[in-house]
Amino acid sequence: MNYLKNKLELEENGFSILTDLYSDNEVSQILNCIENTEQDENSFMKSKDLFAIRQLIKSVPKISSLLFNEKLIELTSQLFKENYFLTKAIYFDKPSESNWFVPFHQDLSISVNKKVELENYSNWTFKKGFYGVQPPLKILQDTITVRIHLDKTDRYNGALKVIPKSHSNGIIRVESTDLNSENEFICNIDKGGAMLMKPLTLHSSNRTTNGKKRRVIHLEFNKHYLDKPLSWSEYYKIS
């Protein structure tokens, strides 16, 4: 497969959409792997509104060989000129009865191993046993997100809306920015497809109106090691 077009779209617009990254059978294997894993760790979060698994590959080790199929390995080899590695893997399941809205935002936090006061690392958080921090801008600019869709997703079940090219404006104070809804693009993605995104791309999702699920695996890749003594809380080398 040639993913040059997707790479160019990602750099220019801040996002790109892929189809057929996984077959129906591969999607079923991924879901079965998740469903057959014991859910007794802090990484598993379940409520009426959301089921999520943080540190997915650590929590469900068998899933790595299913995720990194031939197409994903080929995609990453074409996207990354240098030695990128996985820094975050989360599984999201938005149940059919869940109906929450996510306003426009940028993904400004990374997951790290500890809290250390360092220059250019700010806005620390600690949730469910995990530290998050806003890193230097260059790290965010060089992050690439791959969102793998395990269900067909459209405007009726919370597909992401993005503002094309917004990633080129650096960190944006969303509350003081006049967002032009005419520039919104709704990312309809088929089951087994994926969305590539820069974390500085403004994105949002509406409430679900058709009662259908939106199960997504969110992967983040980077090439930078953090300033010592900080390190990524997740690290998975791409084979």
The Cα diameter of the chain in Å comes to 47
Specify the pLDDT at position 175: 73
Q: Contact at 8 Å (CB) between 112 and 131?
A: yes
pLDDT digits (tens, 9 = 90+) for 185-231: 999 999 999 999 999 999 998 878 787 888 999 999 999 999 999 99
Specify the pLDDT at position 128: 80
Specify the pLDDT at position 97: 61
Side-chain half-sphere CA neighbours of 122 within 13 A? 4
Name the band, by pLDDT with cuts 50, 70 and 90, for residue 100: low
Question: Which residues, at least 6 apart from 77, have a Cβ–Cβ distance to it below 8 Å?
Answer: none
Q: Count of residues for the chain?
A: 239
Q: Is residue 155 scored above 80 in pLDDT? A: yes
- Whole-prediction pTM value? 0.93
Q: Contact at 8 Å (CB) between 200 and 38?
A: no
Ordered by where they begin, the domains of the chain are 4-234 (2.60.120.620)
Give, in degrees to the nearest 5, the angle at Cα 159 between 157 and 162. 155
- Alpha carbon distance 148, 195 (integer Å): 7
Q: Is residue 180 scored above 70 in pLDDT? A: no
Highest mean pLDDT among 42-56, 92-106, 136-150: 136-150
Q: What is the mean pLDDT of residues 123-137?
A: 94
Specify the pLDDT at position 177: 65
Q: At what angle do helices 70-79 and 4-13 cross, to 10 degrees?
A: 50
Average pLDDT, the chain: 90
Name the band, by pLDDT with cuts 50, 70 and 90, for residue 44: low
Specify the pLDDT at position 1: 85
Name the band, by pLDDT with cuts 50, 70 and 90, for residue 94: confident
Dihedral Cα 47, 233, 67, 150, nearest 10 deg = 30
35: its two tokens: 């469903």
- Alpha carbon distance 85, 234 (integer Å): 10
Dihedral pair phi/psi, residue 226, rounded to 5°? -85, 160
